[in-house]
């Protein structure tokens, strides 16, 4: 549906300095200033996914910053976007949300230079983020090549754990695992963009692994193979998935991408749920030649991304995702 809506917008071809717009489904726009500099711009916000207001602020800010990292950029400034039910939500809780967002930005070396707040029926928070990148270092999600291996930077399962939390059935250890993953900055994206061997880059968020993988395939006109046994899962995520916890967003993702994803006969439903599990501030997804995989993995691991793993490959063929 989104593609149909976007197709009704005026074409952007008349703006030659707009290097990345809506056409490829990348999470950030990029505008060329000169031969050495381009501006990266993005915005992202949502309603609370956790009850703790400070954690909510941290997660929302980290998620917004990730969109700049996911194209290889370096964020330099942010503007807060916030809405709060001022007659229902305490000033202390509002301050905690804003403080959490500021903490994530401080960790990224990014000032929150302003923003806009409205009175809303439900809390919402996020950022508009401005970054920079060299025009030759942009990593789109559509530039993967046949034969590339696929590397995922974070473990999957944030949505599954969140579903258990929403039913008050998530233990403290698993909550901490979920928040730690969702607040880990994907700043390694800037380092990955500096590698000429990296062909394509994106982050895995609301569409789940297979949804974003299909976007990879569609843009490059290639197929992808994902090896289930190689997928990194957050500790305890598979336990909760096997107990039946799932999100409505995962079901909607399957409805959207059903015709583009092939799974093995008899694959358990809990595994299918993980394949489309929406990730909040999920891991970076990298496409690179097999000979460069060790280099990319070292960059991830040296930056503290212990879950980073090779999960599959890109191949010649119709744009689709096959899970084996």
- Give the pLDDT confidence of 246-299 residue by residue, as tens digits: 999 999 999 999 999 999 999 999 999 999 999 999 999 999 999 999 999 999
Nearest C-alpha neighbor of 148 from the set 54, 213, 99, 64: 213
Please state, in angstroms and rounded to a whole number, the distance separating the CA atoms of residues 3 and 302. Answer: 38
Please state, in angstroms and rounded to a whole number, the distance separating the CA atoms of residues 236 and 170. Answer: 10
Confirm if 109 and 54 have CB atoms less than 8 A apart: no
Percent of the chain with pLDDT strictly greater than 90: 90
Split at pLDDT 50, 70, 90, the class of 163 is very high
Query: What is 265-322 written as a DSSP string?
Result: TT--HHHHHHHTPPPSS--EEEEE-GGGHHHHHHHHHHTT-TT-EEEEEEESSSS-EE
Q: Which are the contacts of 317, defined by CB distance < 8 A and separation ≥ 6?
A: 222, 223
Nearest C-alpha neighbor of 164 from the set 244, 245, 242, 239: 245
* Domains of the chain by start residue, with CATH: 12-136 (3.30.1330.10), 140-323 (3.90.650.10)
Q: What is the pLDDT of residues 168-213, one digit of tens each?
A: 999 999 999 999 999 999 999 999 999 999 999 999 999 999 999 9
Q: What is the pLDDT of residue 2?
A: 59
**DSSP 8-state class, residue 10:** P
pTM of the model: 0.93
Alpha helices (runs of H) in the chain, residue ranges in sequence order: 2-6, 53-69, 91-108, 158-166, 172-182, 188-193, 208-220, 237-242, 248-257, 269-275, 293-302
């Amino acid at each position: 549906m989104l593609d149909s809506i976007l197709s009704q917008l005026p074409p952007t071809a008349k703006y030659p300095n707009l290097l990345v717009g809506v056409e490829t489904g990348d999470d950030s726009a990029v505008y060329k200033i000169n031969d050495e500099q381009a501006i990266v711009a993005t915005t992202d916000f949502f309603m609370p996914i956790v009850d703790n207001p400070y954690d909510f602020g941290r997660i929302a800010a980290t998620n917004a910053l990730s969109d700049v990292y996911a194209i290889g950029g370096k964020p330099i400034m942010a503007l807060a976007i916030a809405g709060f039910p001022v007659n229902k939500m305490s000033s202390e809780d509002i301050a905690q949300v804003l403080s959490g967002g500021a903490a994530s930005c401080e960790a990224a070396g990014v000032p929150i230079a302003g923003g806009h707040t409205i009175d809303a029926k439900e809390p919402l928070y996020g950022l508009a983020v401005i970054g920079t990148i060299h025009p030759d270092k942009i990593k789109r999600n559509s530039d993967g090549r046949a034969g590339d291996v696929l590397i995922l930077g974070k473990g999957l399962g944030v949505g599954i754990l969140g579903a258990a939390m929403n039913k008050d059935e998530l233990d403290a250890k698993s909550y901490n695992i979920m928040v730690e993953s969702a607040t880990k900055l994907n700043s390694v994206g800037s380092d990955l963009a500096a590698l000429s061997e990296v062909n394509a880059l994106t982050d895995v968020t609301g569409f789940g692994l297979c949804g974003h993988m299909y976007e990879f395939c569609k843009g490059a006109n290639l197929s992808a193979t994902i090896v289930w046994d190689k997928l990194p899962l957050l500790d305890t995520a598979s336990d909760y998935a096997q107990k039946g916890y799932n999100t409505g967003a995962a079901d909607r993702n399957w409805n959207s991408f059903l015709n583009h994803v092939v799974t093995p006969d008899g694959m358990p439903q809990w595994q299918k749920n993980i394949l489309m599990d929406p990730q909040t501030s999920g891991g970076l997804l990298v496409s690179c030649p097999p000979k460069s995989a060790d280099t990319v993995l070292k960059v991830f691991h040296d930056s503290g991304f212990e879950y980073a793993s090779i999960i599959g490959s890109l191949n010649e063929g119709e744009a689709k995702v096959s899970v084996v």
